Copies of this chain bind each other. A is one copy, B any other.
C-alpha cells in the first residue's frame, strides 16, 4: 500500500483517545483532525497527536481531504455524527452500538446507503483471538448443529454509576454478546425473554438475565450485570460457550494471565483489549483499527457488514421490552419501507 488514509476522530473520551493514539501510530494512517465538545480535551489530544482540533464535528466533517472518521460519542449522539459523516462521504468506524434503538439504526444505515459511504461498526470481539477462535471452532463442519449458547458480560457498579442514564446495560455491554452469539451461531435470535432488577439505585439496571431462541433451533442464555462490587478482579468477567451436535467450544476472559500482589490484595490487568506495550496501544482495539485502515484503503469488505451489526439492535429492543413487560417477545426485523 502506498497511500495514507487521512482520518479524524470525533469524541475524545476513553475510546476516542485510544483511537487517536492508534491512528497516530499507524503507518498507513494520518490523523489530521480530532474533535470533542470539551475544548481542553480537544487541545490536549491535538497537541499530543499533531492533529488539528475541532469542537464542532460538522466543521471537522467539512474537511475535504478527510477520508475517514472514527465516531466515539455516547450512544444517543451517534445519529447526528454518523449521518453527517455519511452525507460527507467519509468511511466511518462507528463505535458500538450502531445506535441506541432500531429506528435510529435504520436511519443511519439509510444515510450510509443513500450516500454511498462506507460503514464499519466497532464490534471489538470480532478482533479478539478468543472470540474469533471460538467462531472458527464453531464452523458447521466442526461443531455440527448448535444446541445451546451462553454468553456472560459482567462489570462493576462503578461503571453503571458513571454512565447513569447516558447508556443502558443492553446497549453498553449487551450489544457485544448479542452480536457475538448471532455471529458464532451462524443464526439470528428470533424470540427473547428477559428479567431485570434495579436495587442499587445507580440510575441504571443492575442486571438482566435472558433466555433466547435462535432461528436454527438453538437456545441461548444471556447474563448481563454491572452490579458487582468494585473490587472484582480485573473489573469484569466475560465468557461465551457453544455446544453443538459434534463438538463444543468455549472462551473465558476472566483469567488475563497477569497479576499484581500488594499488601492489601491481588489484582489483575488487561492483556487483550488495549494493553499498553512499549509505548503503544496493542491488542484487539489496535487490530480493529488496523483492519479499518487497510480495508478502507484497499476498498475491500470489512470483516463484518453493517447489515449484520444491524441485526443486533432489534434483539436489544426486544430484550428491553420483555424485561419491561415480563412476557416473551418476538424479535421484529422489518426493514423500513420494505
Contacts and interface: CB of A to CB of B under 8 A. Distances in A.
Contacts of A228: 243, 248, 261
Given A132-B275, A233-B261, A251-B257, 7 more contacts: A127-B282, A129-B258, A129-B282, A130-B258, A147-B206, A211-B211, A229-B243
B225 A243 contact: yes
| 10 pairs of A and B residues whose beta carbons are closest in the complex | A27-B28, A265-B265, A129-B275, A129-B271, A231-B265, A209-B221, A233-B266, A248-B261, A148-B207, A255-B255
Contact of A147 (B147, B200, B233): B200
A27 B147 contact: no
A105 to B, nearest CB: 24
A52 to B, nearest CB: 19
How often does this chain occur in the complex, in copies? 4
A1 to B, nearest CB: 5
B264 A259 contact: no
Interface string A228-253: 11111100000000010111111111
A126 B280 CA distance: 13
Interface in A282-301: 282-283, 287, 291, 293-294, 297
A278 B128 CA distance: 10
A269 interface: yes
Contact of A277 (B132, B260, B265, B270): B132
Interface string A187-201: 000000111110110
A278 B126 contact: yes
A309 to B, nearest CB: 15
A219 B209 contact: yes
A223 interface: yes
A2 interface: yes
Interface residues of A, number: 86
B207 A210 contact: no
Nearest to A218: B197
Interface of A: 1-2, 4, 26-28, 126-127, 129-130, 132-134, 137, 145, 147-148, 150, 193-197, 199-200, 206-207, 209-211, 213, 217-221, 223, 225, 227-233, 243, 245-253, 255-267, 269-272, 275, 277-278, 282-283, 287, 291, 293-294, 297, 303, 326-328
B303 A232 contact: no
27 contacts: A27-B28, A127-B282, A129-B258, A129-B271, A129-B272, A132-B275, A132-B277, A134-B258, A137-B260, A147-B199, A147-B206, A148-B197, A195-B219, A199-B217, A200-B245, A209-B219, A228-B248, A230-B264, A231-B266, A248-B261, A249-B258, A249-B259, A250-B259, A251-B258, A255-B255, A255-B257, A257-B272
Nearest to A270: B129
A180 to B, nearest CB: 13
Given A218-B197, A259-B251, A327-B327, A133 B206 contact: no
A161 to B, nearest CB: 12
A231 B261 contact: yes
Contact of A4 (B2, B137, B260): B2
Contacts of A293: 27
A293 B220 CA distance: 43
